[in-house]
Amino acid sequence: MYQISDQEVDYILDDLLARGIETESLRYALLDHVCVMIEEGLCEGGDFVLFYHSALRAFYKEELREIERETTFLMQARGRLVLSRGLFFLLLFVLVGGPFVGYVIASMLRSGGIVSFQVWAAAVVYSAFPLLVLCVLYLTPDRLDPLIPQRSKVLLGVHPFIKIVSK
């Protein structure tokens, strides 16, 4: 079993910091995991640096900074409702369009299944603008810098009420 030296531990800590892991507790947790992997997998006399870089690739897809971003997101999301972008817009469509649909259904129940033109016209006219605004917000492509980007998450909480976290 390989024993990691103090210089190698310092090398790992410096490399983690250089790769974007700025949260100290996360850096030490990663250090612990990497040291265990190296001690269990590296043979005596093996190349430490080569094995370290190959072991580190197990923690990320594109870059190690992904772990830092995900940790920050999870710390922000604590005690909040996390919605995907699609679910957030679905919720908004229901909240904006629901009263108008309810108005039409209530009118239909009162009149025995027949809805007058005034009820339909009022529901369509008064719901058209808010629903159009929501459609524009939802369909804005990423290249035009949308208010809520495509792969973002929406955090609903108390303070602030709505927070958008881009991925």
| Maximum alpha-carbon separation in the chain | 88
> According to the model, what pLDDT value does residue 101 have?
92
| 2 touches 46 (CB < 8 A) | yes
- Whether residue 46 is found in the same domain as residue 65: yes
| Residue 68, in any domain of the structure | yes
> According to the model, what pLDDT value does residue 86 have?
95
| 74 touches 167 (CB < 8 A) | no
- Whether residue 11 is found in the same domain as residue 67: yes
Q: Residue 64: beta bridge partners?
A: none
Q: How many domains does the structure of the chain reveal? A: 2
Give 88-107 pLDDT, tens digit per residue.
Answer: 999 999 999 999 999 999 99
- Owning domain of residue 69: 6-76
| 153 touches 89 (CB < 8 A) | no
d(CA 69, CA 29): 15
List of residues 6+ apart from 131 with CB closer than 8 A:
93, 96, 97
Give 104-160 pLDDT, tens digit per residue.
Answer: 999 999 998 888 999 999 999 999 999 999 999 999 998 998 999 998 999 898 888
| Residue 92, in any domain of the structure | yes
- Whether residue 54 is found in the same domain as residue 101: no
